[in-house]
């Protein structure tokens, strides 16, 4: 008779932690990877809507109109941006993504009437041509940043930080720094490219105010200027961004993605999107700037429900990065080539992962051709196919958003409000400052009953 094995996993030293220690011990290296935080965090999943019933009057789900029109940049810009939906595409660089992908995003955004955004490394011709509304990022590295593209843009996003790595600069490993990427960034081909974590020509908030004015002067006060911050001390940072003269503030929570950064950053720096959003809204309300300065929230927005909850909490719009990549086929077991589904399992295996678990954007060997500069791999994502998928995804989110809004009795998605929400967990109630379901208890703010 064989002896029964008793296997008791340690909570502190579980398989994942043991694997981390073994790997660190064997290599002396920290892990660099793509995508966002994988740990469980309080999120929009921890909120639910209180829809109409006897005390609230719902709208009919299909026939009654529910507006999704969204206007951004009304504070100072002569030409605010008008979008058909509050769901926008977040900044992701050509370099991290292929030119095909950038083109696909532009096409999809144009078809659904929303905006897409450049990234570190500048604006490609493909994305400008395919995007009706393009937001041009001004990043600390200033790679590829120039006045001609600045004038071609529809809005400018001055990036201070990113939710996946607030306080950290970007990186693009040598395998993705091809001739074209290097040329756009004025770098030698194949270097492990670093992006600075601070801007080169301003430091504090008072300097930032002058920098914002310079960008306005150069573009003759026509274009909305966004300021993007990675979520940390969000209440203060949002106030400083308002002080600096932002038309729009983008807050990126710690669930936000990246093309490559240290895992320790992704999992341990910054605050969850839920907490950041409430702090940002509080800051705007404290300054009486709600509605005057628009707020975009990003970092882990995946579904129409997430969008609706973000808007109810006070955001004017959302920006999506990772969800868009998944929509393109990221982590799918196959890719579509000439209408045929081709199995990519072997290519996932080659980079040590499998579909559903991949976060290997940093390798440039994306099995489905999304986060690559490889001439062969990038052909796995055809711009038209990609555009159709992203368009479908954005349309679905928009329909889910309006479905929830109608159920809450709103004929405009921007009329969703905090009172429409309750929290399912104590943590979410505390962070979002929304009462725990079935009570009026907000931890730290009201005693409840």
Partner 1 sequence: MESLDLRTISVRELNQYLHKELPGKDIGKVEIFNPDGAHNIAAGMDCPVEISIQGHGGYYVGGMNKHADITVHGNVGWGVAENMMSGSVRVKGFASESAGASGHGGTLIIEGDASLRCGISMKGIDIVVGGNIGNFSGFMAQAGRMVVCGDAGDGLGDSLYEAVIYVRGKVKSLGADAREEPMTEADYVAVKELLGRAGFSHDPKEFKRIASAKTLYNWNADADQEY
Span of 214-222, 269-277, 281-289, 378-386 interacting with partner 1 by CB under 8 A? 214-222
On whether the CB atoms of residues 37 and 266 are closer than 8 A, the answer is yes
For residues 50 and 187, which CB has a smaller minimum distance to partner 1 in the complex? 187
Are 424 and 50 within 8 A, CB to CB?
no
- Residue 137 interacts with partner 1 (CB under 8 A)? no
Give the shortest CB-106-to-partner 1 separation in angstroms: 25
For the chain, give the number of residues: 449
Q: Which stretch binds partner 1 (CB under 8 A): 74-82, 198-206, 376-384, 412-420?
A: 198-206
User: CA end-to-end span of the chain, whole Å?
Assistant: 58
Please identify which residue in 6, 63, 200, 376 interacts with partner 1, judged by CB under 8 A.
200
Q: Which of 125, 146, 179, 236 binds partner 1 (CB under 8 A)?
A: 146
Total residues binding partner 1 (CB under 8 A): 32
One of 17, 18, 21, 196 touching partner 1 (CB under 8 A) = 196
Nearest to 432 by CA among 271, 323, 290: 271
Q: Cβ of 303: how many Cβ atoms within 10 Å?
A: 16
Here's the x/- map for partner 1, 162-181, by CB under 8 A: it reads as ------------x-------
| Nearest CB to partner 1, comparing residues 43 and 363 | 363
3-state secondary structure 127-150: HHHHCCEEEEEECCCCCCCCHHHH
As beta bridge partners, residue 251 has 229, 297
362 binds partner 1 (CB under 8 A): no
Does 264 interact with partner 1 (rule: CB under 8 A)? no
- Alpha-carbon distance 188 to 362, whole Å? 18
Residue 342 is given by DSSP the state: E
With contacts defined by CB under 8 A, name the span among 42-50, 209-217, 385-393, 425-433 that binds partner 1.
209-217
Binding mask 86-125 for partner 1 (x = CB under 8 A): ----------------------------------------
Nearer to partner 1, 152 or 445 (CB): 152
Specify the residue, 175 or 303, whose C-beta has the smaller distance to partner 1. 175
Instruction: Look up residue 54 and give its DSSP letter.
Output: S
Secondary structure percentages of the chain, helix, strand, coil, to 5: 35, 15, 45
In angstroms, what is the minimal distance from the CB of 366 to partner 1? 21
Q: Which residue of 19, 64, 82, 201 would you call a contact of partner 1, by CB under 8 A?
A: 201
Considering only residues 12-31, where is the footprint of partner 1 by CB under 8 A?
27-29
Residue 119: Cβ-neighbour burial (10 angstroms; 0-12, 13-18, 19+) = buried
Q: Where are the alpha helices (DSSP H) in 234-382?
A: 234-243, 263-268, 273-286, 304-313, 322-328, 345-350
- Of the two residues 76 and 441, which places its CB atom closer to partner 1 in the complex? 76
Count the neighbouring beta carbons within 10 Å of the beta carbon of residue 341: 11
Residue 204 in the binding site for partner 1 (CB under 8 A) = no
CA angle 377, 380, 381 (to 5 degrees): 120
DSSP-derived secondary structure for 146-209: -HHHHHH-SEEEEE---TTSTT---EE-GGG--HHHHHHHT--TT--EE--SS-SS--SHHHHH
**Segment near partner 1 (CB under 8 A), from 142-150, 291-299, 315-323, 352-360?**
142-150
Cα–chain center distance at 198: 20
Site for partner 1 in 216-235 (CB under 8 A): 217-221
11 or 29: whose CB is closer to partner 1? 29
Binding site for partner 1 (CB under 8 A): 27-29, 141-142, 145-147, 150, 174, 185-188, 190-192, 194, 196, 200-202, 207, 210-211, 213-214, 217-221
């Amino acid at each position: 008779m064989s002896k029964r094995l008793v296997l008791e996993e340690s909570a502190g030293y579980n398989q994942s932690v043991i694997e981390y220690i073994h790997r660190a011990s064997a290599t002396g290296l920290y892990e660099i990877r793509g995508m966002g935080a994988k740990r469980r965090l309080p999120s929009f999943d921890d909120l639910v809507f209180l829809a109409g019933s006897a005390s609230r009057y719902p709208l009919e789900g299909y026939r009654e109109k529910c507006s999704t029109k969204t206007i951004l940049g009304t504070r100072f810009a002569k030409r605010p941006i008008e979008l058909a939906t509050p769901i926008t595409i977040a900044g992701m660089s050509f370099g991290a993504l292929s030119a095909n992908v950038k083109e696909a995003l532009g096409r999809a955004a144009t078809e659904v009437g929303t905006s897409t955004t450049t990234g570190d490394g500048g604006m490609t011709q493909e994305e400008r041509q395919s995007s009706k509304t393009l937001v041009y990022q001004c990043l600390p590295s200033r790679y590829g940043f120039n006045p001609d593209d600045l004038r071609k843009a529809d809005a400018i996003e001055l990036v201070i930080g990113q939710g996946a790595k607030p306080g950290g600069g970007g990186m693009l490993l040598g395998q993705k720094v091809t001739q074209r990427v290097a040329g756009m960034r004025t770098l030698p081909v194949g270097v492990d490219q670093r992006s600075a974590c601070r801007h080169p020509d301003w430091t504090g908030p008072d300097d930032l105010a002058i920098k914002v004015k310079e960008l306005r002067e150069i573009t003759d006060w026509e274009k909305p200027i966004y300021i993007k911050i990675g979520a940390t001390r969000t209440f203060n940072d949002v106030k400083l961004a308002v002080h600096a003269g932002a038309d729009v503030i983008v807050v990126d929570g710690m669930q936000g993605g990246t093309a490559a950064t240290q895992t320790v950053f992704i999992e341990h720096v910054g605050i969850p999107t839920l907490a950041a959003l409430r702090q940002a809204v509080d800051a705007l309300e404290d300054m009486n700037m709600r509605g005057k300065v628009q707020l975009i929230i990003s970092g882990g927005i995946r579904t129409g429900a997430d969008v609706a909850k973000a808007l109810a909490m006070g955001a004017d719009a959302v920006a999506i990065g990772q969800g868009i990549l998944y929509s393109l086929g990221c982590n799918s077991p196959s890719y579509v080539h000439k209408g045929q589904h081709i199995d990519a399992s072997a290519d996932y295996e080659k980079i040590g992962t499998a579909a559903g678990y991949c976060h290997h954007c940093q390798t440039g060997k994306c099995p489905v051709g999304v986060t690559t500069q490889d001439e062969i791999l990038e052909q796995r994502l055809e711009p038209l196919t990609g555009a159709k998928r992203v368009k479908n995804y954005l349309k679905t989110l928009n329909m889910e958003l309006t479905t929830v809004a109608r159920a809450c009795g709103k004929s405009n998605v921007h009329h969703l409000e905090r009172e429409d929400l309750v929290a399912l967990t104590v943590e979410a109630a505390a962070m979002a400052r929304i009462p725990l379901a079935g009570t009026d208890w907000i931890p730290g703010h009201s005693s409840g009953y």
